[in-house]
Structure 1
């Protein structure tokens, strides 16, 4: 749903096999890429043991990204009270995924060790001042990691070599928060990278992308009419 300022949020969505866990997208910014408006979403996982923020979006402007005409949405940021967040996960460290890290200083930031090393060695471009903002402390992860019961971090190389996804749900058809492992629905309809193929192999119920307003859902033959596809964005 959208409010009068055009800031889009979506009610919490039950995660498969985890009735007490929800995933909620929050629209925090817009970019202009190849002449088209691209939303920037972060995702809040409400878990009985902790409130987890997946990526921190873009919360300020910087000359290095002026060509993307970034527009920060204050109403979206107001939904993210730093005091309410217990844990932060960075799927990767591009500027539009770590731009708000400083707001959550003092919380543990989980990121794949490969991603952190690549960024600090300049192998992956970003805004280093945002990555290493004062008070931001990372928990480097090597491979798969159980963050909370029913919430896993899983390496998903492709967009960057050190990218990771968040898998919510312990049974069949989990919910996935994928960062930029897929940037639009077509990349999951026809997966090309290791990370995209991994997501499809999980047989997810839905996948939340950082730059889409709605989740991607698989086109099951028996229910294709009811399942949104890339043509239904």
Structure 2
């Protein structure tokens, strides 16, 4: 008798915004070779086994204007390029509740949201009195998730868990108290959607965490967790690196420069 093999999924990254930045803003302690280092913003989609799961919900054009981000396109509207109807999406994984990962939650009216319980405690707890930590949250997003919890639409986790066969959630913490990343079984093996466990390839490669930090020790351990979960470094997808768009192919010509396919082999 053999074990049943998990489904094989496709994974897509939608690039919906960007901002100009410098290397010194992306590494705790700065960088001795300071220079331009832009940051991209992504929403991810997992397709297969008769379902489409969205990972994170991006931010709105209003928030982009408020935070001086360059808004390229609405990530929820862009789902149409992948034949995904947001009204029909049943599951949205929220890696954490920072403004750029939860802002369009209201565009998924049928979804159950999957969140580490520690993140809700953090976003509504005593640490939010400190602007150095609360600046990464939009209070209306947090209140919106509290309301959805009262509607029984938030499923909480107290650590790592299986969401579906071949799709697992992994608690990491560090950047935010309840940060999680996602592993997905694909045609090229397990792909790790790191989200903000590592913003850039260089954060995890050099073991220099990003500057927005709740617990630096957990951020360093998060790099270890990513590597332990991945067959190779090429199977880890950082959360904000423009190199992702260069390393992976568009699924079709209409998606060029907008969407890349992460279950394909990188260039």
- Please tell me the TM-score bracket, short chain as reference: 0.7 to 0.9
Report the counterpart of residue 14 of structure 1 in structure 2: none
1:72 Cα deviation after fit: 2.4
Report the counterpart of residue 37 of structure 1 in structure 2: 38
Question: For the structure 1 residues 56 and 49, does the alpha-carbon distance in structure 2 shift closer, same or farther, using more than 3 Å as the test?
Answer: same
Q: Out of 180, 196, 201, which is 2:228 matched to?
A: 201
Whole-angstrom distance in 1 between the partners of 2:206 and 2:37: 22
After TM superposition, the runs of 4+ consecutive aligned structure 1 residues lying more than 6 A away are none
Q: Tell me, which stretches of 5 or more residues in structure 1 are unaligned?
A: 1-16, 218-225, 229-233
Question: For the structure 1 residues 149 and 121, does the alpha-carbon distance in structure 2 shift closer, same or farther, using more than 3 Å as the test?
Answer: same
Which structure shows the higher helix fraction?
2
Which structure shows the higher strand fraction?
1
State whether structure 2 residue 153 is matched by structure 1 residue 165. Answer: no
Report the counterpart of residue 26 of structure 1 in structure 2: 14
Question: For the structure 1 residues 194 and 131, does the alpha-carbon distance in structure 2 shift closer, same or farther, using more than 3 Å as the test?
Answer: same
Whole-angstrom distance in 1 between the partners of 2:43 and 2:222: 19
Which whole-Å deviations, capped at 9, do the CAs of 1:154-185 have from their partners, x for residues lacking one? 10122112110001129995101111110111
Report the counterpart of residue 130 of structure 1 in structure 2: 141
Higher mean displacement: 38-47 or 202-211: 202-211
1:76 Cα deviation after fit: 4.1
State whether structure 2 residue 93 is matched by structure 1 residue 92. Answer: no
The answer to whether the Cα contact below 8 Å between 1:38 and 1:211 also exists between their aligned partners in 2 is: yes
RMSD over aligned Cα atoms: 3.0
Any idea what SS the aligned residue of 1:187 has?
helix
- Could you say which structure has the larger radius of gyration? 2
Whole-angstrom distance in 1 between the partners of 2:231 and 2:142: 30
Question: For the structure 1 residues 203 and 172, does the alpha-carbon distance in structure 2 shift closer, same or farther, using more than 3 Å as the test?
Answer: farther
Q: Tell me, which stretches of 5 or more residues in structure 2 are unaligned?
A: 23-35, 80-84, 128-132, 209-219, 248-264
Whole-angstrom distance in 2 between the partners of 1:140 and 1:19: 24
1:69 Cα deviation after fit: 1.2
